[in-house]
Structures are given as structure tokens and as C-alpha cells.
Amino acid sequence: MPVGEFPGRTRPDACPGALQVHEAADGPLARVRLPGGAVSAAQLRVLAACAAELGADVIELTSRANVQVRGLRSPDVFARRIAAAGLLPSPAHERVRNIVASPLSGRGPDGLVDVLAMAHALDLALCARPRLAGLPGRFLFALDDGTGDVAGLGADVTYAATRLGADVSHAAAGRLLLAGTDTGLIAGPDAAIALMIDAAEAFLDELPSGDGRAWRVRELDDGPARIAARLRGGANQPVPDSARLGGGANPPVPAPARRLPGPDRLPPRAGRPAAGRIVQRDGRVAVEAVVPLGRLTSGQALALADTGHAVRLTPWRTVVLPDLSPAEADRAGKALDAMGLVTDPDSPWAGVTACTGRPGCAKALADVRADARRWVEGLDRAPATPVHWAGCERRCGLPRGPVVQLIATTNGYEERHP
């Protein structure tokens, strides 16, 4: 838990949003949630215009496939513009709309379910529950299409599509994971959204009265077990409709509980961003590009919008253009490279991340982004193990999995190996 260590925490979560901005060292910072990493060309153009006209001309990609605009000169004008673009559907819920989804959404070799459609449904259900506006801003939902990519992120509530034996009727079933732990509950996609919403409600039920210091399921003692018990009707709790056995089109069913593999055995995606072409199951092609240090200029964002293709942002600070013909993929790859993004999987940028550092963060002890860029210039290929540059001991933005950490101190950088 590199950031915001739970022991001794004395305040509720103050995660920034589009309305509740963070007063960073370089000015107000706003974070805009993009459930499933989906953003339309029109919305991308609005974000680019806001970054250029109201901010520091940079759009930052976060580890939850959201975006940030820094150095805002008028947060109120920014909020009005993104609301008009459809990026602020519920002011009360805007900080809790944290939903990541497998970027290929069922299109890849192991994909089973269109989780992007599920992300939209989950977002609507979340915003329809007034009480869930009280979730901490760090609470995270994940929808894994069967690939195993976002299931390895340790989200608070995860739906992980899976095949259950050879029975094709259960091919699109999914397991409910809480803080990475398999609860043993299985549901079809049509029952999964209600179950995930009930799990979030159960998290709030398990919080000590008036205690806002637990921001994640893993921060509750036996959190996954306690929430799963509520979902099963244990501890004298009523059984939620979503978890009633024998009812509904695809009700959750019990299955042996298990814990997912540890970070050292997660899919490669959990340790390093991907880049290049991905052949979809339908024969079409997706192109993925690394955004160096997770920062898009307004010009790059406009160029992405102008490709004319759907854009998906990922938790690995990459962009994906899906559903392309081979010829379109060739042209898209060249366009992405021309705008300064990286489609070469062996590029050094495929393994280097950094926090904000100076001058944007008052706690940082170095301009880690500038230092990381100079370091990358001396490499000819991706490092064997991903490298994260951090401006202080908090190590914001540290990726999951094995990572070499370069942490700024008053006497240079301290190097830590996994």
C-alpha cells in the first residue's frame, strides 16, 4: 500500500474529482472518471480544449484509465464544459465512478464478454444508488472479460468472466472477487451488475459507524469474507436479490473459494504495458500505444480524436484503437507513432513510469519526469524489469507486479529491486 498507508490514517478520503479539485503545487488538479476507459472523439476534443485553454496543456492518464487536467485557471468553467460533454452524469457520484474494464472487451483470444457494455450498465446502476455516493474516491470496480488483465489489479469489487468446464451455457459466467479474493460466488453477466452494487453497499455496511479511514475492502479486517457473508445472507443479514439462488435468469451460484495468484504470477499485462498490433478473434485488429509517462498534450489528444476510430484508455496508461482492418491498423500505427506515442513493444517507454514529481507535487524531491526522460534516452530497448521513478517515499503511481523503484531522496535516488 504505497500511498495513503491505512494505519494511523485520520481523515476521510479526499480523492480529487472534476468538482472537488486538488490544490497541487502547480495549481488546481481535476480528475475525470471514464468508466471502462471509454471516451468519444467529441469528449476527447473537449478535454483537449480544456487542457489547452484552462490548464497546463497536458492530459494525464491514471492507473484507473481516468484522466487528469492540471494547473486549472478556472475549475468552475472546466466543470461546466465537461458536464456539457456528458462526462459528469451525476455530480454526487462523480468521484466514485471508478470502473476499469478489459480494454479489448471480449475481442481478444481469451475474451468472453463485452465488458464495456457492462461498464456502462454498472455506471448507471452506481449513479442510481444515492447511498453509494458515499463510497471513498479510491474504491474501485473491475470488469474482466476472461483475459485476466484487470482481474490482477486487486480492485475492491471485480467481475471476472470465466468458462466453467465444457458447459457452454456457463461460458460467460463470472466470479465475484473482493480485493482480489475469489468469494466463490458465480454469476452471469445479467446478474453481475446487481451483485457488484450489493457488494459495494455491503462494504458501507461493514464500515465502523462514522469511520471514513477505511477506503478499500482490503483495509477492513477480513473484509472479503465479511462482505461475502452479507451477500450470502450470513450474520443475520437478509440475502440481497442479486444473490438469491434459484431466482433470476443467471443468479450467482456457490463455487469453491480461492485466492488469485500473487503479483509475481499475474498475467504479463500486470507488470508491463503492451504496445503494437493485437489480432482480434473476429479477424480485425486492435492497435495499442504507450503514452510516454502517461501524459498527452492537447495536440496529441486532438490527433487521437481525429483518427476517426474508437479510443479506449487503459490502466497501463496506453491507448487502444480496436476494430480496425489490417490496412486501417497500418495507417493508425503510423499516425500514433507520428504523434509521439509508442507502438513498438520493445521501446524503452514500454517499461518506464513516473509519478508527477516536481514542480507539480510539493512533496516531491526531484523532477522525476525529466530525470526519467534523460534516462530513457540512454536505452535502446525496454528494461528487463519495469522501472518506476518516484519523487518521494509515497511512490505514487507504483505499478503492480515486479518493479524496480528509483525513489528520490535528499541525496539522489535510492534504487530498490523486487
User: Which pLDDT score, from 0 to 100, does residue 268 have?
Assistant: 44
Highest mean pLDDT among 146-155, 158-167, 201-210: 146-155
Using 50, 70 and 90 to split pLDDT, how confident is the model at 165? low
pLDDT score at 371: 97
| pLDDT, mean of residues 372-380 | 95
How high is the pLDDT of residue 249? 39
Cα gap 243→202, rounded to integer Å: 12
Under CATH, which architecture does the 350-416 domain have? 2-Layer Sandwich (3.30)
Question: Does residue 1 or residue 12 have the better pLDDT?
Answer: 12
Mean pLDDT of 217-235: 90
Beta strands 141-144 and 99-101 are parallel
Annotate the chain with three-state secondary structure.
CCCCCCCCCCCCCCCCCCCCCEEECCEEEEEECCHHHEECHHHHHHHHHHHHHHCCCEEEECCCCCEEECCCCCHHHHHHHHHHCCCCCCHHHCCCCCEEECCCCCCCCCCCCCHHHHHHHHHHHHHCCHHHHHCCCCCCEEEECCCCCHHHHCCCEEEEEECCCCCHHHCCEEEEEECCEEEEEEECHHHHHHHHHHHHHHHHHHCCCCCCCCCCHHHCCCHHHHHHHHHCCCCCCCCCHHHCCCCCCCCCEECCCEECCCHHHCCHHHCCCCCEEEECCCCCEEEEEECHHHEEEHHHHHHHHCCCCCEEECCCCEEEEEEECHHHHHHHHHHHHHCCCECCCCCHHHHEEECCCCCCCCCCCCCHHHHHHHHHHCCCCCCCCCEEEECCCCCCCCCCCCCEEEEEECCEEEEECC
Judge if 99-265 and 350-416 fold alike in CATH terms: yes
Per-residue confidence band for 172, with pLDDT thresholds at 50, 70 and 90: low
Q: 226 pLDDT band (50/70/90 cuts)?
A: very high
pLDDT at 244 over 70: no
pLDDT score recorded for residue 4: 44
pTM of the full structure = 0.89
pLDDT band at 11 (very low <50, low <70, confident <90, very high): low
Residue with cell 493485437: 278
pLDDT per residue as tens digits for the range 256-287: 333 333 333 334 454 456 799 999 999 999 99
Inter-residue contact 314 to 320 (CB < 8 Å): yes
What is the distance of C-alpha 265 from the center of its chain?
20
- Residue 188 pLDDT exceeds 60: yes
How high is the pLDDT of residue 247? Answer: 33
Q: What grid cell was written down for 14?
A: 479526499
For residue 91, count CB atoms less than 10 angstroms from its CB and return exposed for 0-12, middle for 13-18, buried for 19 or more: middle
Indicate the class that CATH gives domain 270-292+304-343: alpha beta
Band (pLDDT 50/70/90 cuts) for residue 1 is: very low
Model pLDDT, residue 246: 31
Report whether pLDDT(158) > 90. Answer: yes
Q: What is the structure's pLDDT at 411?
A: 95
Supply the mean pLDDT for the chain. 88
The tens digit of pLDDT for each residue in 206-220 reads: 987 756 678 999 999
* 12 or 251: which leads in pLDDT: 12
Q: What residues does 124 pair with on adjacent strands?
A: none
Higher pLDDT, 277 or 1: 277
Q: With a cut of 70, say whether residue 10 has pLDDT above it.
A: no
Identify residue 109 by its one-letter amino acid code.
P
Beta pairing partners, 23: 28
Q: What is the pLDDT of residues 52-80, one digit of tens each?
A: 999 999 999 999 999 999 999 999 999 99
pLDDT over 80 (residue 345): yes
Predicted confidence (pLDDT) at residue 243 exceeds the cutoff of 60: no
Domain map (residue ranges) of the chain: 22-86, 99-265, 270-292+304-343, 350-416
pLDDT tens string 105-121: 999 988 999 999 999 99
Determine the topology of domain 99-265 in CATH: Sulfite Reductase Hemoprotein; domain 1 (3.30.413)
CATH level 2 (architecture), domain 22-86: Alpha-Beta Complex (3.90)
List, for residues 79-108, the tens digit of each pLDDT value.
999 999 999 999 999 999 999 999 999 999
Q: Which pLDDT does position 2 carry in this prediction?
A: 52
Q: Is the pLDDT of residue 352 over 80?
A: yes
Q: In the predicted model, is pLDDT for residue 396 greater than 60?
A: yes
Query: Quick one: pLDDT at residue 234?
Result: 55
pLDDT at 213: 76
Q: Which of 124-128, 151-155, 210-214, 265-269 has the lowest mean pLDDT?
A: 265-269
Q: Does residue 320 contact residue 147 with C-beta atoms inside 8 Å?
A: no
pLDDT at 254 over 90: no
